[in-house]
């Protein structure tokens, strides 16, 4: 006589529960939910198989194997769903096979009443000892293992011991007890919260595991006690309802986190939009760099932000930072002054792993040469991030020129180190790059307009001075014919020399003011440098100035006007000589190298450095004493280099000294856009 009327309500409830898990599985893509669904399908099969079990008498071995086997396999899937590697399909499948096969072998032996000790001992050994070995070999052992591994192995020892005595029921009873009792511990350890869903499921698993030893004790020692069979099924419903409630709690938590994240994103966008609007109005970039860094720290997952900019395409400086300790700030400043150049950053932008549109994650091992500081905050072990790693967001203008970088470090949440997180920062970085580039272009435009205006003024003044000066020179020459000797002749010669000096100054003014026709020819820079140094050899030797000349052996010839270029070299040399007059260490270093299709020359001196970086090449600007200089030397150099399609700029050296850099194209092409070399500070 079968038990359909008694079991039908339970079967219907289980069918509904299985339907709920299947429906949830369609909505939630979770490996754990997939394992739970399989487990509850097996529980449903267990109850359906129970329909065919008679109330009295010996059950069919096949039905008994299906009945008890589906129940034990369900416990295997519950345990597999609560491991630390449940998302690893191969390891989870290995655990299920390693446990499921010996479980079915044990049930088969029990169903057919086989007295095969080897079968039971082998099965129990695989289950109780094989699982700990499997986890140890393929997974890092956690603190949880210190609880369940000893329990499993002690139970296995006794199961094998009793099997040797041909008592196989102890091992089978242990499988059922631990199969549903162990998930209680694992369930709480995985969720670590006292929410209703977790508590209900954990308590349900505890009661479910106790059902088997308690029912066995009642069967042996109190056979006359009548207990409603459905009472033993109550823990199953605790577990099922608790799991469903846990899933709903998880979903609610995800929704709450999504809402909070949306609020954070909106706040981030509002902050970034406010910064962008001010950037586009022409506010000084340096004044906003600290605000930009602070906004990124406040609204993103990164706790350390460094913004490094370049105004000349080569030298770098720390423009803003947030979250850095004082020693880290000093290290970055020192690196910018002594170690880093834009070339280093351009190499970085080709390394690492791309996160978003432009940002890159670069491992610490690839950044050893940059001498970056490392955060003191602890980082949990994770393959996605380790100490010394950085995310770099290049600052690239719409013209394609790199003007700096934003370095991000020390993420709070590694799950947020992704393209979505970086997209907003990249947009802000793009606006910052455009502003920095526009600032440089505006500075160049202002200088060009100033030079054009002063050039017109100079041309007019020079022409006006030329007329009376010609008369003075003419009459002085006539007078020299009449006065041959004596004090009057000496005064006349001095007046004539000063008049000629005035004429040369006026010629310089006119040359600066108008575009002269260049007479370019292929010239050797090393030869020109030697000729200019020979002109000042006496002065160099008399003032104990050390001149170091380093010209690359493979330096190609450059198409230029030799006379005008000598004027450039002489002006730069004189400028450095004047700067060394008040210094103890007097050293000038001249270097010429090739970079791509351009030749770059560096004039370095050990003087005090430039005074005002924004006025280096302004006409008539000088910091020299009255009568020492006209303030036209560097301005004339600037104009001549521009006519040659090149660039000249300057920068201070650390801890002291100055550098003027010339960059000239090897082949002069009218449409070639000049490249930026250095920006700097003046001591004209």
Task: Give the range of the structural domain holding residue 542, as residue numbers without chain letter.
Answer: 517-684
659 near 683, Cβ under 8 Å?
A: no
CATH code for the domain in which residue 314 is found:
3.30.450.40
243 near 201, Cβ under 8 Å?
A: yes
Quote the percentage of the chain above a pLDDT of 70: 86
Q: Predicted confidence band at 628 (pLDDT cuts at 50, 70, 90)?
A: very low
* 659-676 pLDDT tens trace: 888 888 886 433 333 333
Q: Predicted confidence band at 677 (pLDDT cuts at 50, 70, 90)?
A: very low
Mean per-residue pLDDT, 105-124? 90
Which residues lie below 8 Å from residue 666, measured CB to CB, with a gap of 6+?
A: 556, 557, 558, 559, 594, 597, 598, 599
Residue-level pLDDT at 205 = 92
Whether residue 101 has pLDDT greater than 90: yes
Residue-level pLDDT at 3 = 55
**216/278 same-domain check:** no
> Is 461 inside any structural domain?
no
Residue-level pLDDT at 476 = 83
**398/319 same-domain check:** yes
Residue given tokens 């330096």 in the structure block: 555
Where a domain ends, among 218, 249, 280? 249
Q: What is the pTM of this model?
A: 0.50
Q: Predicted confidence band at 99 (pLDDT cuts at 50, 70, 90)?
A: very high
CATH code for the domain in which residue 621 is found:
3.30.565.10
Mean per-residue pLDDT, 14-43? 86
Phi, psi of 308 (to 5 degrees): -115, 130
**425/548 same-domain check:** no
Mean per-residue pLDDT, 398-424? 85
Residue-level pLDDT at 19 = 86
| Cα-only R_g, the chain | 43
Point out the least confidently predicted range of 159-168, 306-315, 331-340, 675-684: 675-684
430 near 397, Cβ under 8 Å?
A: no
**13/148 same-domain check:** yes
Mean per-residue pLDDT, 417-445? 80
Residue-level pLDDT at 632 = 58
* 278-309 pLDDT tens trace: 766 666 777 788 888 888 888 888 999 999 98
Alpha-carbon distance values, 376 to 162, 324, 328, 373, 516 (Å): 56, 10, 11, 9, 61
Of 41-55, 318-332, 452-466, 609-623, give the range with the top mean pLDDT: 318-332
Whether residue 545 has pLDDT greater than 80: yes
- In sequence order, the β-bridge partners of residue 587 are 546
Quote the percentage of the chain above a pLDDT of 90: 15
552 near 589, Cβ under 8 Å?
A: no
Where a domain ends, among 249, 280, 310? 249
> Is 256 inside any structural domain?
no
HSE value, Cβ hemisphere, 13 Å, CA-based, for 657: 17
Residue-level pLDDT at 125 = 92
**186/285 same-domain check:** no
> Is 56 inside any structural domain?
yes
Tally of domains within the chain: 3
Where a domain ends, among 249, 279, 311? 249
> Is 486 inside any structural domain?
no
Q: Predicted confidence band at 180 (pLDDT cuts at 50, 70, 90)?
A: very high
> Is 462 inside any structural domain?
no
**99/208 same-domain check:** yes
Q: Looking at per-residue confidence, does 343 or 492 come out higher?
A: 492
Chain Cα centroid distance, residue 585: 43
């Amino acid at each position: 006589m079968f038990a359909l009327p008694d079991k039908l309500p339970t079967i219907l409830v289980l069918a509904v529960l299985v339907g709920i898990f299947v429906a949830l599985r369609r909505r939630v893509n979770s490996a754990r939910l997939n394992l739970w669904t399989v487990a509850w399908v097996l529980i449903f099969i267990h109850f359906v198989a129970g329909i065919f079990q008679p109330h009295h008498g010996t059950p069919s071995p096949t039905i008994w194997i299906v009945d008890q086997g589906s129940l034990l396999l369900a416990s295997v899937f519950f345990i597999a769903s609560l491991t630390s590697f449940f998302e690893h399909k191969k390891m989870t499948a290995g655990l299920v096979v390693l446990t499921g096969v010996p479980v079915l072998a044990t049930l088969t032996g029990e169903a057919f009443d086989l007295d095969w000790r080897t079968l039971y001992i082998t099965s129990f050994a695989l289950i109780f000892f094989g699982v700990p070995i499997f986890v140890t070999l393929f997974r890092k052992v956690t603190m949880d293992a210190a609880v369940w591994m000893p329990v499993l192995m002690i139970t296995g020892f006794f199961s094998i011991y009793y099997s040797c005595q041909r008592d196989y029921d102890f091992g089978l009873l242990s499988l059922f007890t631990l199969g549903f009792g162990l998930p209680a511990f694992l369930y709480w350890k995985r969720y670590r919260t006292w929410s209703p869903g977790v508590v209900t499921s954990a308590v349900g698993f505890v009661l479910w595991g106790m059902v088997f030893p308690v029912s066995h004790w009642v069967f042996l020692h109190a056979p006359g006690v009548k207990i409603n069979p459905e009472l033993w099924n109550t823990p199953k419903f605790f577990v099922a309802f608790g799991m469903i409630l846990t899933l709903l709690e998880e979903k609610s938590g995800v929704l709450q986190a999504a809402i909070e994240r949306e609020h954070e994103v909106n706040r981030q966008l509002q902050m970034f939009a406010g910064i962008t609007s001010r950037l586009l109005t022409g506010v000084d970039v340096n004044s906003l760099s600290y605000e930009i860094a602070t906004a990124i720290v406040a609204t993103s997952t990164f706790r350390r932000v460094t913004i490094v900019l370049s105004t000349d395409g080569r030298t770098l400086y720390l423009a803003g930072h947030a979250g850095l300790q004082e020693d880290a700030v000093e290290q970055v400043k020192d690196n910018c002054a002594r170690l880093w150049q834009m070339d280093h950053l351009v190499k970085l932008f080709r390394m690492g792993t791309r996160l978003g549109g432009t940002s890159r994650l670069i491992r610490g091992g690839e950044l050893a040469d940059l001498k970056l500081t490392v955060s003191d905050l602890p980082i949990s072990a994770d393959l996605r991030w380790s100490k010394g790693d950085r995310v770099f967001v290049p600052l690239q203008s719409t013209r394609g020129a790199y003007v700096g970088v934003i370095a991000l470090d020390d993420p709070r949440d590694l799950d947020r180190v992704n393209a979505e997180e970086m997209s907003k920062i990249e947009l802000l970085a793009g606006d910052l790059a455009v502003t920095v580039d526009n600032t440089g272009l505006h500075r160049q435009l202002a200088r060009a307009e100033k030079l054009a205006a002063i050039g017109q003024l100079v041309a007019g003044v020079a022409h006006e001075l030329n007329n009376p000066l010609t008369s003075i020179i003419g009459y002085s020459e006539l007078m020299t014919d009449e006065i041959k000797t004596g004090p009057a002749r000496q005064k006349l010669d001095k007046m004539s020399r000063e008049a000629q000096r005035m004429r040369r100054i006026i010629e310089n003014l006119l040359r600066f003011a108008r575009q002269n026709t260049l007479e370019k020819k292929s010239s050797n820079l090393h030869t020109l440098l030697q000729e200019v140094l020979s002109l000042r050899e006496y002065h160099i030797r008399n003032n104990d100035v050390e001149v170091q000349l380093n010209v690359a052996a493979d330096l190609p010839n450059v198409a230029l006007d030799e006379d005008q270029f000598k004027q450039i070299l002489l002006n730069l040399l004189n400028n450095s000589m004047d700067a060394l007059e008040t210094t103890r260490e007097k050293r000038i270093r001249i270097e010429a190298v090739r970079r791509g299709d351009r030749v770059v020359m560096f004039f370095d001196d050990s003087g005090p450095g430039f005074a005002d970086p924004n006025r280096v090449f302004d006409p008539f600007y000088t910091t020299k004493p009255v009568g020492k200089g006209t303030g036209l030397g560097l301005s004339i150099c600037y104009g001549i280099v521009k006519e040659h399609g090149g660039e000249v700029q300057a920068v201070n050296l650390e801890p002291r000294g100055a550098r003027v850099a010339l960059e000239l194209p090897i082949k002069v092409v009218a449409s070639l856009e000049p490249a930026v070399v250095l920006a700097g500070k003046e001591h004209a």
